[in-house]
Amino acid sequence: MGFLARSRDRLLLSRRLARWRDAPSPAALTEAVHTLLRLGEVERAWTLARQGYAKFKDDDLVRELYRIVGRAHAEHGLVAAQDEVKSRPTAAAFVRLARFAVLLRDVEGAFVALEECLRRFPASAAAHAALGELHEQRWLRDLAAADGCVVLTHLRKAWRLDGAEPTRPLRLAAFLARVGAVRAALNVANEVLHLHEEHADAIALRDSLARVVAAGVQAGTIAAEGEEDVESLLRQIEESGRVVGDPGDATRVARESERLRAFLPALRERTGCEKALVVEPKGHAQDERGALGASPLVNLAANLSRSGQFTVRRLDLGPLQSVTMVTTGGSLLLQRAQRCLVGVLLDQPDAVERGKAGLEDLVAGRLRATPLVASRPVAARVAKDPT
Partner 1 sequence: MKEILQRLEGVPGVVGALVMTLDGVVIASVPQGVDLDRTAAFLSAVLLSVEKSAEQLGLVPLQRLTLAATRGRLLLVPVGELALAVVADGTTDLGPALNEVAGLTRRLLRQSKINVAD
What H or E segment, with its residue span, contains residue 277? strand 275-279
**Contact yes or no for 212/205 (Cβ under 8 A):** no
Nearest to 83, CA basis, from 93, 69, 68 = 93
Residue 350's identity, in one-letter code, is D
Cα–Cα nearest to 78, from 90, 65, 93: 93
Looking at beta carbons only, is 347 or 385 nearer to partner 1?
Answer: 347
Which C-beta is closer to partner 1: that of 78 or that of 279?
A: 279
C-beta of residue 188 within 8 angstroms of C-beta of residue 179: no
Three-state secondary-structure class, residue 140 = helix
> Between the CA of residue 352 and those of 173, 267, 323, 344, what are the distances in Å?
45, 13, 12, 10
The footprint of partner 1 on residues 22-51 (CB under 8 A) is none
Q: Whole-number minimum distance, CB 307 to partner 1, in Å?
A: 4
Please say which residue, 145 or 181, places its beta carbon nearer to partner 1. Answer: 145
Query: x/- string (CB under 8 A) for partner 1, residues 303-342?
Result: xx--xx-xxxxxxxxxxxxxxxxxxxxxxx----------
Under rule CB under 8 A, residue 293 binds partner 1 = no
Number of residues lying near partner 1 (CB under 8 A):
35
- Give the per-residue contact string, 267-286, with partner 1 (x = CB under 8 A; - = no): --------------------
Q: Which stretch, 29-37, 61-69, 211-219, 300-308, contacts partner 1 (CB under 8 A)?
A: 300-308
Length of the chain equals 387
The smaller minimum CB distance to partner 1, of residues 272 and 308, is found at 308
How far out from the chain centre does Cα 209 lie? 25
Closer by beta carbon to partner 1, 28 or else 345: 345
- Residue 340 to residue 355: CA distance in whole angstroms: 17
142, 231, 246, 269: which one binds partner 1 (CB under 8 A): 142
* Region binding partner 1 by CB under 8 A among candidate stretches 20-28, 122-130, 253-261, 292-300: 292-300
Query: In 125-227, at which residue ranges do the beta strands (DSSP E only) sit?
Result: none
- Is residue 234 near partner 1 by the rule CB under 8 A? no
Q: Can you give the binding site for partner 1, defined by CB under 8 A?
A: 142, 144, 296-297, 299-300, 303-304, 307-308, 310-332, 345, 349
